[in-house]
Amino acid sequence: MKSITKNIFVLVALLLATLFTTGLAQADDKTHAAKKNDKTSALKITKAGAGEATITSFPDGINCGETCRAEFKTQSRVTLTATAASGSIFKRWGGACKDTATTCTVTLKEAQNVTAITELLPITLNVSKTGSGTGTVTSVPAGIDCGITCSTIYSPKLAAQYDDSRKTREHEDGDDDDGHKHDDEHEHDHGKPAASVTLTAAPATGSTFQGWTGACTGTAATCTVTLDQTKSVSANFALMQMTLSVAKTGTGTGGTITSLQTGIDCGATCSGIYDWGTPVTLVATPATGSVFKGWTGACTGTAATCTVTMDQNQNVSADFAPMQMTLTTAKTGSGTGTIASSPAGIDCGAACTGIYDWSTPVTLTATPATDSTFQGWTGACTGTATTCTVTLDQTQNVSADFAPAFKTLSLTKAGSGTGTLTREALIKSLSMG
């Protein structure tokens, strides 16, 4: 009986020892498992290329941007999403990701490196010309020649410049963590692009450059545009302003010079300002009693109209002269005498016609011969006074009438005879001497 009891006790002790040992082993396994589940692996993001993008993760941890490295539980799956910035495009993943889609999932068996490769989109620069003038806009680097080519697309390779103050990017030699060589010619470009194109405005002859608007400002002939996105620039050209001055010359009573294009009315306004190259037609109109003799200066000839091209400041003179009026005198009657004028011109006698400026007052004087008498004026003069004034506002005719002077003849009879003397016999006797 004691032997059986002893055996049972030994079996129980062995069973308890086994259970204790198994419990300890299971507890140790749980401890090791817990420690294994707490292990983490690092995921590091490197951005490459000339473009810009933000890389985020699910679960949270990566926001690159600023946070480009994070720890995740080992064996966990982390999904990365690339969001390209404006003006950039996501190209592909490198390193632990091998895809061109914007999302990629990495299983973190160990620390992993992923490269996100972006490039710049081509950038368009548009140039326009405004204003009344003309000119060209050209660019350095070449592309704009406006003129004809007023819009062009600059490639990222040509445009990209680099800002060394930006955070250092890895794989500057273009290799991914797995040794893969970037296959795009632009993937060697790193850093934030700060593309610049210098525009030069050149006004054409007769125009001036007034200034830039849009992505350029100011009035300097050159302007530098930073092409971080599509940009538009306008160059304003204005026609040069040319002055046309007119003057009236000559001894005429005057006239006017007017322009068919608004500006000249001389008269009062004897200068006008016109756009470069404008043809301006001038018209000379003489006043009453004057005639237009011709142009000098930028106009020549005697036609009443003249066209001046305003390719520079111009001066024009119009010459006006008095009209010439003719005064004709004549002597009538059986007497004799002369007609003279003041101012000089008539001495009739011989010169019975004179030419005078329009509206000149001419005083005529009739002087009868010793055996004649002045009887009076007819025509433009009237009356019996020996002087007469004629105003030559037109061609005039004047006649002076002269008559023989009559004297009293007294006859007496002498001698012792008688007889009679008739008028006819007396005239015949006198004519015979």
185: helix, coil or strand? coil
pLDDT score recorded for residue 426: 56
pLDDT score recorded for residue 123: 87
Q: What is the DSSP letter of 398?
A: E
pLDDT score recorded for residue 229: 83
Phi, psi angles (nearest 5°) of residue 109:
-70, -25
pLDDT score recorded for residue 121: 84
23: helix, coil or strand? helix
Looking at per-residue confidence, does 4 or 315 come out higher? 315
pLDDT score recorded for residue 162: 36
pLDDT score recorded for residue 185: 35
Average pLDDT over residues 57-84: 93
Range scoring the smallest mean pLDDT among 20-34, 347-361, 402-416: 20-34
Q: Which two tokens stand for residue 83?
A: 């969001």
pLDDT at residue 183 tops 70: no
pLDDT at residue 307 tops 80: yes
Looking at per-residue confidence, does 398 or 433 come out higher? 398
Average pLDDT over residues 81-102: 92
Q: What value, to the nearest 5°, has the Cα angle with vertex 316 and ends 237 and 269?
A: 75
The kind and range of the H/E element at 156 are helix 156-159
pLDDT at residue 53 tops 50: yes
pLDDT score recorded for residue 86: 81
pLDDT score recorded for residue 37: 58
Neighbouring residues of 24: CB distance < 8 A, sequence distance ≥ 6:
none
Looking at per-residue confidence, does 168 or 268 come out higher? 268
Q: Which of 25-34, 67-76, 215-224 has the highest mean predicted lDDT (pLDDT)?
A: 215-224
Supply the mean pLDDT for the chain: 85
pLDDT score recorded for residue 241: 97
pLDDT at residue 192 tops 70: no
Assess contact for 285 and 254: CB atoms under 8 A: no
pLDDT at residue 190 tops 80: no
Domain 40-120 fold is: Immunoglobulin-like (2.60.40)
Task: Quick: pLDDT tens for 195-232.
Answer: 789 999 999 999 999 999 999 999 999 999 998 788 99
Q: In what order do the strands lie in the sheet with 396-404?
A: 353-357, 324-332, 396-404, 372-379
Closest to 327 measured CA to CA, from 341, 337, 317: 341
Sign of CA dihedral 256, 259, 265, 266: negative
pLDDT score recorded for residue 56: 96
Phi, psi angles (nearest 5°) of residue 224:
-110, 125
CA within 13 Å, CB half, 240 = 16
CA-CA distance, 232 to 216, in Å (whole number)? 8
pLDDT score recorded for residue 120: 80
pLDDT score recorded for residue 11: 65
pLDDT score recorded for residue 415: 72
The kind and range of the H/E element at 140 are strand 135-140
pLDDT score recorded for residue 180: 43
Write down the domain spans for the chain: 40-120, 123-160+195-239, 241-322, 325-404
pLDDT score recorded for residue 430: 55
In 3-state terms, the chain is what percent helix, strand and coil (to 5)? 10, 50, 40
pLDDT score recorded for residue 321: 95
pLDDT score recorded for residue 10: 59
Q: Across-strand partners of 337? A: 368
Phi, psi angles (nearest 5°) of residue 344:
-60, 155
pLDDT at residue 7 tops 50: yes
Range scoring the smallest mean pLDDT among 23-32, 270-279, 281-290, 311-320: 23-32
